[in-house]
């Protein structure tokens, strides 16, 4: 089976590069039919409102939600985290699968993007924050798995992980090892 990368818009090519580096097969998800070939998912960074508008009149997100609810390992970075969270954007509901709320573009505009030292699982490394959201609250069985100083920048609930940063832009060994484990083990990956 393969990892499906949502490819409506955003950094899907960068996530494909991460998967190439760990010898994982992948396909770009553009329609519901593509979901039949995957056993894990990545929802990339990009523009969350654009992604919601693109899919508004088709059933891709309905089927995407069913696939994630079936328990397949799912990673959302930046806009992907927003899509997974409990939000309403421009009157459109997100997937509402991750018990957290986020504030879009919380660190400012594109020119206010930065790199920061993130404690992620059992390692610490520098990661990129590009027009990044902030996680403003978590609830239910959502666990913290990454922090920037005292700020929550990564969460996990069962088979779903959401990150406010872009590890696919650095592809450090720590992240690649984590990604490989997550794709293989999903909900059984250790947490902080």
The CATH number given to whatever domain includes residue 7 is 3.40.50.880
**Residue 90 pLDDT exceeds 70:** no
User: Would residue 100 show up in a list of annotated catalytic residues for this protein?
Assistant: no
Instruction: Give the least confident one: 4-13, 98-107, 118-127.
Output: 98-107
The structural domain count of the chain equals: 1
Contact predicate 131/107, CB 8 Å: yes
Residue 15 falls in the annotated catalytic set: no
Q: Between the CA of residue 133 and those of 21, 23, 48, 62, 160, what are the distances in Å?
A: 27, 30, 11, 24, 17
Q: Are 112 and 130 in contact (CB under 8 A)?
A: no
The verdict on whether 57 is a catalytic residue reads no
Question: Of 14, 100, 128, 166, which one is the catalytic site residue?
Answer: 166
For the beta sheet containing 123-129, the strands, ordered from the edge strand earlier in sequence to the opposite edge, are 26-29, 2-6, 38-43, 74-77, 160-163, 151-157, 143-148, 114-120, 123-129
Catalytic, out of 14, 78, 100, 128:
78
pLDDT digits (tens, 9 = 90+) for 14-68: 999 999 999 999 999 999 999 998 999 999 988 777 777 777 667 898 999 999 9
- What is the extent of the structural domain holding 104? 2-188
* Mean of the per-residue pLDDT values of the chain: 87
- Residue 185 — pLDDT band, cuts 50, 70, 90? confident
Other beta carbons within 10 angstroms of residue 144's beta carbon come to 16
What are the tokens at 118?
Answer: 């993130």
Catalytic residue, candidates 14, 100, 121, 168: 168
pLDDT at 191 over 60: no
Phi–psi pair at 17, nearest 5 degrees? -65, -40
Reply yes or no on whether the pLDDT at 190 is more than 50. Answer: no
Give the mean model confidence (pLDDT) for residues 82-94: 78
The pLDDT > 70 percentage for the chain reads 87
């Amino acid at each position: 089976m393969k990892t499906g990368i949502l490819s409506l818009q955003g950094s899907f090519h960068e996530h494909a590069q991460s998967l190439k580096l760990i010898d994982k097969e992948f396909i770009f998800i553009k329609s519901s039919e593509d979901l039949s070939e995957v056993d894990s998912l990545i929802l990339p960074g990009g523009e969350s409102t654009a992604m919601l508008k693109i899919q508004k009149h088709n059933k891709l997100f309905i089927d995407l939600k069913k696939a994630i609810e079936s328990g397949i390992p799912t990673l959302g970075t930046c806009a992907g985290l927003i899509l997974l969270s409990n939000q309403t954007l421009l009157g459109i509901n997100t997937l509402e699968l991750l018990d957290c709320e986020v504030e879009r573009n919380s660190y400012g505009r594109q020119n206010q993007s930065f790199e920061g030292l993130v404690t992620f699982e059992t390692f610490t490394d520098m990661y990129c924050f590009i027009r990044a959201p902030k996680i403003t609250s978590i609830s239910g069985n959502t666990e913290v798995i990454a922090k920037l100083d005292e700020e929550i920048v990564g969460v996990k609930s069962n088979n779903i992980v959401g990150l406010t940063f872009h590890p696919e832009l650095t592809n450090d060994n720590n992240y690649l090892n984590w990604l490989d484990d997550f794709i293989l083990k999903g909900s059984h990956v250790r947490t902080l």
